Amino acid sequence: MLIISNWTKNNEPAAGLTPIVRIINAATGVLIRQTSMAEYGVMNGSYFYDFIDYDPAITYLIRSDAGISTVDYRYQFASGQNEANIITQILNASMASISPADETLGGMIKFIAGIEGGKWEMKNNQMIFYDKDNVTEIARFNVFNISGTPSMQDVMKRERV
């Protein structure tokens, strides 16, 4: 199983780090491996560890630690099962919420699917998007014409409320 982590510093890829990955058996709490990650030569800020002892019958807790370097965030967390389960966990990580603050992959996909799958309407100089049930509001935007005046006609700009 390939464990991949990416770090940024001031929102730019953070190269030259020496991150450590900890792999724990989720059922027993036993530390399986603690080792350094290698940097992808062609992908600045991307690091990996090839967990060759991976057993698909075991659920793992994984923490990647960038160290005390001044990066935008120090830790990354994951759990490892088989590839299909990992993808499901990533997608479901925030599927309960479609808040604009939810910037996980699952949250973003849910937000896009909601906007694309439900109705939208223009009302009182606003564009309102609903989830696929056509009732639950997902997002609301003030709308403006080319002059920057709130308008329901010739809309050229929208701003999230």
Task: Count Cβ atoms below 10 Å from residue 30 Cβ, excluding itself.
Answer: 9
**Average pLDDT for residues 93-114, to the nearest whole number?**
62
Residue range 18-42, pLDDT digits in tens: 999 999 998 899 999 999 999 987 6
Res 75: pLDDT: 81
Residue-wise pLDDT for 45-101, tens only, equals 889 999 998 888 888 899 999 987 767 888 887 775 555 555 555 555 544 444 555
Residue 9 predicted with pLDDT over 80 = yes
Identify the residue with better confidence: 156 or 73. 156
Q: Which of 12, 34, 39 is nearest to 24 (CA)?
A: 34
Burial (CB count <10 Å: 0-12, 13-18, 19+), residue 47? buried
d(CA 49, CA 52): 9
Q: pLDDT-derived band of residue 158, with 50, 70 and 90 as boundaries?
A: very high
Query: Which CATH topology does 2-92 take?
Result: Immunoglobulin-like (2.60.40)
Tokens 């935007």 identify what position?
141
Give me the residue spans of the domains in the chain: 2-92, 109-160
CB 17 within 8 A of CB 71: yes
Local structure of residue 58 (DSSP, 8 states): S
Angle subtended at Cα 2 by Cα 79 and Cα 4, rounded to the nearest 5 degrees: 75
Q: Which of 91 and 8 is assigned the larger pLDDT?
A: 8
Residue that wins the pLDDT comparison between 109 and 137:
137
pLDDT band with cut points at 50, 70 and 90 for residue 15: confident
